[in-house]
Structure 1
Amino acid sequence: MAKLSNVKVNEFAVGMGPALFKIKRGETTYALRILPIGGYCAMEGEDEESSDERAFNKKPVWQKILVVVAGAFTNIVTGFILVVILTCISQAIATTTVAKFDSQATSNAPGGMQVGDQIYRINGARVHVSSDIMYDLVLDSDGVVDIQVIRDGKLVDLKNVQFPMMDDGNGGKVIRRDFWVVGQKKTFFNVLHESFFQTISMVRLVWVTFLQLFTGRFGLKDLAGPIGTTAAVGQAAAAGLPDLLYVAALIAVNLGVVNLFPLPALDGGRLFFLIIEGIRRKPINPKYEGYIHFAGFALLMALMVIVSFNDIMRLIKG
């Protein structure tokens, strides 16, 4: 988008930290950096005043906003494309209709779910595709869930549906889904429907998880850095192509959503300043904005050290 907007790009980097490889083509240096955590596009006039006519600071606010959000949007679109591929190679598409319960099910107790129920909401959240069921159950903490289903063509509210719990591997408990859903044959339209809403589910999961860092539901020990991400990708690759595609899609969507958080040094932080610029009709002093982004970058690097340490400890403990 920067190139399309005729903004001078000084460097385009994949990853962060020291450069492993650099090559210059025209006015732009292309770099591969050591930490596999996103990347950046360094534009002329982005953090300082520039007299260059093609500098970022010379562009109108609306154009700068498009440039800033383009990277995150591209990541999310990449995740969507990977989900489309994953859906296409699957044998069938899972619906939200209950097919059967396992032998130790508790959610089918009197007043609970029945075979043939189409799950419509879980704890107030709309369920569009089967992945919504998994995400919404994972976010529940006590195993007692309010579910709204479509039964015989009517909406039915099921209060306090009890699900079995299981160990999460980190000393806590998570819900175990005790039922299977009906599958359906793939068509062009239901593949697009499934892929779109599964991507939306990933976006919502990342956002809700981020918010729950502040409520205490999750802590820094639950975050994964580059080492943990690499390990997860390796495990997914060993499990097969579908798992690898799913993890790759989740990582792409995660990068896109996180990058839009209104935090210094992220594109969301720059977007926040651009919105202020649009309201004030004049930019924030680039020097002060640069200080804020630098401080944010330092905090992000400190966070990366912490989560990388947690990754290493998890690998050591197995």
Structure 2
Amino acid sequence: MNTLLSVIVIFGLLVFIHEWGHLYFAKRAGILCREFAIGFGPKIFSFKRNETVYTIRLLPLGGFVRMAGEDPEMIDIKPGYEIGLVFNAARKVSKIIINNKSKHPEALVVQVEKIDLERELIIEAYNDEGERMQYKIDNQAILVQDEQETQIAPWNRQFGSKTVGQRALAIFAGPMMNFLLAVVILIAFALFQGMPVDEAQIGDVTPDSAAIEAGLQEGDQVIAIDGQPIDTWDEMTSIIQQHPNESIVFEVERRGQSLTIPVTPSERVGQFGDPEGFVGIARPTEFSLMGSIMFGFTQTYMFMTMIFEVLGMIVTGNFSLDYVAGPVGIYNYTGEAAAMGIFVLMQWAAALSVNLGIINLLPIPAMDGGRLIFIGLEAVRGKPMDPQKEGLVHFIGFALLMLLMIVVTWNDINKFFM
């Protein structure tokens, strides 16, 4: 139950902040955002605020912001249609009733001759007396079909009407917010837990660990291991990791005394599947506001470099599915992090946020990076790509992503349940 709750909270936060980035900068650019959704599939909860419907959907596999103009408008009114018009106080059309006009006795029923809902915002139509009239449409007019309301999207409210810079920022904002979220989480981690420092000193010692059995204590300053001088935490842990199940000798300073302590590191699986040693000690910490802020940025950068190292393996051909995890794998890892405590869970959430940001920026169709590529090509060509061709590319990319998700999920099942 704790694992499920942790997954819901973390993924909900990561997806929310990502999509909120898209929403905020799209609205700043004046784009009509029809829907802000967490999840995919059928709606299980929704409410409308201003122009946007906020929804939670059944399948918690991501989210989206539906911007006007990204997809063809679903309602098409052709000449000859009979529609109902409702006017506001300024005598502009505020509602256009497509069908079920009998439910709207206040509407003026007309037969359409010409209609422009994007640029001119006019309706030319014949009234019930056969007269051809012209009606101006309010730029926030509502289309009503099957009693479902949809706000019109004039050209200046559509995604495609904005500058290349505005559109690129609205797309890039999602991953950017994931990076900023990671920084904020890690700053909070350092403020509450303490900022790890790069000293060869023993911090917290895990109960029933190799360090406890050997007699290492919190506060011990490590001078050397097997005669090799040690100055930093990374130097110390590197030697420990190289000697699983092998005795090594710590030279430490404790309250002014020099001690020699033999330690046999336990063995665990390392980052890339190789065995590595560990003794069950934590890094020493200190509390500092400026240091915590710096830690947030430097640790986020470190997570980025680790992810790029894995991506580099794909390019060099050294890639293995063991280096990636799908929904099942992430669910299990989140459970393990939750079991280790809130601070480990915070670091895991920050790493996931960075990962989400980077993956979304890869030049893959249907991802933010793929969309940015098309915007960049438009900037170079001086004109947009054919929308149908671009849509086809994104569709194929999405289908391939779903196929990869299935393969990775099956690999997760094999690793964890078979």
Structure 1 length-normalised TM? 0.74
User: Structure 2: how far apart are the matches of 1:86 and 1:68?
Assistant: 29
Q: Which runs of 5+ in 2 are unaligned?
A: 1-24, 74-116, 119-153, 203-210, 215-221, 245-264
In the alignment, structure 1 residue 114 sits paired with structure 2 residue 229: yes
Three-state SS of the structure 1 residue aligned to 2:27 is: coil
1:32 paired to 2:133: no
Aligned residue pairs total 276
Q: CA deviation at 1:58?
A: 0.3
- Distance in 2 separating the partners of 1:175 and 1:295: 41
CA RMSD of aligned residues (A): 3.6
Aligned pairs for 1:56-95 within 5 A: 56-90=159-193, 92-95=194-197
Q: SS at 1:96's partner residue?
A: coil
Equivalent AA in structure 2 for residue 267 of structure 1: D
Matches within 5 A, 1:104-253: 108=225, 114-117=229-232, 166-168=267-269, 172-176=273-277, 183-253=284-354
| Within-5 A mapping of 1:37-56 | 37-47=61-71, 51=118, 52=154, 53-56=156-159
What secondary structure does 1:248 align onto?
Answer: helix
8 A contact 2:195–2:288 mirrored in 1: no
How many angstroms apart in 1 are the aligned matches of 2:384 and 2:277?
51
Take 1:257 and 1:171, find their aligned partners in 2: how far apart are those partners?
20
Letter in 1 for 2:318: R
**1:170/1:240 CA distance change after superposition, 3 Å:** closer
Higher mean C-alpha displacement, 74-83 vs 44-53? 44-53
Aligned-partner Cα distance in 2 for 1:174–1:274: 45
Conserved in 2, the CA contact under 8 Å of 1:233 and 1:247?
yes
Note the residue ranges of structure 1 that are not aligned, 5 or more in a row.
Answer: 123-129, 144-163
Q: 1:172 to 1:205 in 2, by over 3 A?
A: closer
Aligned to 1:161: none
Identity of aligned residues (%): 33
Q: Which residue of the other structure, out of 288, 302, 306, is the alignment partner of 2:389? A: 288
Tell me how far 1:31 sits from its aligned partner: 2.5
Report the 3-state secondary structure (helix = DSSP H, G, I; strand = E; otherwise coil) of the residue aligned with 1:283.
coil
1:114 is aligned with what amino acid?
A: P
Per mean C-alpha deviation after superposition, the further-off stretch among 24-33 and 247-256 is 24-33
Residue identity opposite 2:357 in structure 1: G
Residue identity matched to 2:397? G
The more displaced of 209-218 and 66-75 is: 209-218
1:98 alignment counterpart: 200
Larger relative contact order (Cα-Cα within 8 Å, sequence gap ≥ 6): 1
Counterpart among 403, 410, 415 of residue 302 in structure 1: 403
Post-superposition CA distance 1:139-185 (Å, at most 9, x none): x9xx9xxxxxxxxxxxxxxxxxxxx9955289941544679787352
